[in-house]
Amino acid sequence: MNTSRPYPLRLRRFRGAFLATLLALCLLGPSQEAKAATEYEIKAVYLLMFAKSIGWTEAMFADAQAPLVVGVLGNDPFGTVLNNAFRGETVGRSKRPLVVIRARNAAALPQCHIVFVSKSEERQALNIVARFRGKPTLVIGDFSPFSAKGGHLNFILSGGAVKYEFNASAIQKNGLKLPSKIQRSGTPVSES
């Protein structure tokens, strides 16, 4: 019996079509939707890391069972990604759950511990920063130069990677402390 027999014609055609499709996918790269989803999955993980790293005091919460509230201000670029990232997660010794709320304007947000300001609110950056100044709220922008305008952190894309800038002075003015491990990973900026 000859075991070196070539593949049947049908299998060779399938294998050729499969390899051509695989090559085309590699050459075309991921779709814009896939890139956007990946970007916001990474940003959601960063938000979770910030939530777990800030030294929230008991005085920053309404009561012992109150959750850590994360507000998304403006157009929500996360979809379900942020809720999925926070599902089952807790912060602090009190094991506070994380709750995500969404609002179109800052006035509609109740007391939040973290506010994510989407790109749609870029023109309102100074007003948003002023609204949360002096409150125990970490304000994070999805555009640069949010931190230079008095925001606390802002995400940037650098070399295809999601990174962040931070304004230590503005964070401190709100009574929050950014741990050194987060400072080492980000880029410091000053208000301009």
pLDDT of residue 6: 52
Average pLDDT, integer, range 101-125: 93
pLDDT of residue 189: 93
Does the reported pTM lie above 0.75?
Answer: yes
Q: pLDDT per residue over 1-58, tens digit each?
A: 555 555 454 434 433 333 333 333 333 444 444 454 489 999 999 999 999 999 898 8
Cα dihedral 96, 72, 114, 48 in deg (nearest 10): 60
* CB of 151 closer than 8 Å to CB of 170: yes
Average pLDDT, integer, range 120-144: 94
pLDDT of residue 54: 93
Which element (helix H / strand E) includes 173? helix 168-173
CATH: 1.10.3470, 3.30.479, 3.40.50, 1.20.1260. Which one for 32-188?
A: 3.40.50
Task: Give the type of residue at 4.
Answer: S
